[in-house]
Amino acid sequence: MVLDVIDVTKLLVARASVTPNDAGCQTYLKEQLAAQGFVNETMVFADTTNLWARRGAAQPVFCFAGHTDVVPTGPIERWQFDPFTPTEHNGFLYGRGTADMKASIAAMLVATQKFVQDYPDHKGSIAYLITSDEEGHFINGTTKVIDTLEARHEKIDYCIVGEPSSTNVTGDVIKNGRRGSLTANLNVKGMQGHVAYPHLVDNPIHALGPVIAELVNTKWDEGNDFFPPTSMQISNISGGTGATNVVPGTASMVFNFRYSTELTFECIQERVYFILEGLKVNYDIQWTYNGLPFLTEPGVLVNAVVKSIQKVCGIQTELSTAGGTSDGRFIAPTGAQIVELGPENNTIHKIDECVNIANVITLEKVYYQVLVNLLT
């Protein structure tokens, strides 16, 4: 039976797979992929269910990557329709996960089914890497699957991640890279005491002021043809005991770098240390590495995707590296070429998340054309 992309999207959205719960989505995918000649392998790490499925044994390996988990709904009473009862309304399909990213998974599945029917003896291999831990802690999902594949020397050559990349219509924007993300948790140490006796205290909040000014006014790089200049943003500052007459003993600040391929995280750390030491701050700092930057320059995969969008949609796509991180950051270091292509992203993680139904149907056709361009 030929699958319908909207019906498959509804079936997946109806499963309340709030991260890291898969809620049976991957069981459905395995059944459908097995019928298309895929060999399925479930990889469970702690609370996370992952699927690695592959059809064929030859290179190149083209992989569809994505996640079945969704973010929490927020206040359900604020939704027009129940978030896990997929509802069509005015040309849109509403439900949590429609855009991020169950419509993409449905489009992948239907495109693959049609491609395998049309080209049963296609070149290379088709693979799926699906996780239920992308919206959560992302420690037991794609990164663990990639570790497993690398240990047995199983390589992905080309990968489309189904993250919602489009702005208005399918394919108007694709992501061919992402900035790296590095978070610092800085704790400045002082000496607590009474505000009326400044000679007996060391105010860490005052010490934090020049640090903020220096970090904000530092130009980290110029960016390049694919990436904007590195951005440093402060997300949290805390200090004080709650009393108005007490200088606190510590003050803390959390700040994040979204950085380009012009920098490494070691370079950023060295410059932060230089600032702190130069200001003679008494501190400790913890770093969280959220992901390295990656870039797929125009080549086999990017060209195949751009040509597919042009043929199906009649538009010239924009290459972009904007936005947050994605699981592409775990796949790119293996040498795979990565492109993110999915539906419009203007409602992701919001109340009343939805996708344009016509755009989802178009996405399925684009995915199909990419398979044709790469594997025939």
Question: Would you list which residues are annotated within the binding site for Zn(2+)?
Answer: 67, 100, 135, 163, 349
Cα 181 from Cα 28, distance rounded (Å): 34
Cα 175 from Cα 317, distance rounded (Å): 10
Catalytic residue from among 22, 133, 134, 157: 134
For residue 87, the number of C-alpha atoms closer than 13 Å in the C-beta half-sphere is 14
Helices (H), the chain: 5-13, 25-35, 103-118, 142-151, 204-217, 265-278, 300-313, 328-331, 357-375
What dihedral do alpha carbons 132, 136, 138, 142 form, nearest 10°? 20
Cα 340 to the center of its chain, rounded Å: 9
User: Is-catalytic flag, 69?
Assistant: yes
Catalytic residue from among 69, 157, 327, 340: 69
- List, in sequence order, every residue forming a beta bridge with 126; answer none if it has no partner: 55, 62
| The one-letter amino acid at 208 | L
User: Is-catalytic flag, 270?
Assistant: no
Residues 6+ apart with CB under 8 A from 323: 175, 178, 345
Please check whether residue 177 is in contact with residue 296, taking contact to mean a CB–CB distance below 8 angstroms: yes
DSSP strand pairing (180-189 vs 173-175) = unpaired
Catalytic site residues?
69, 134
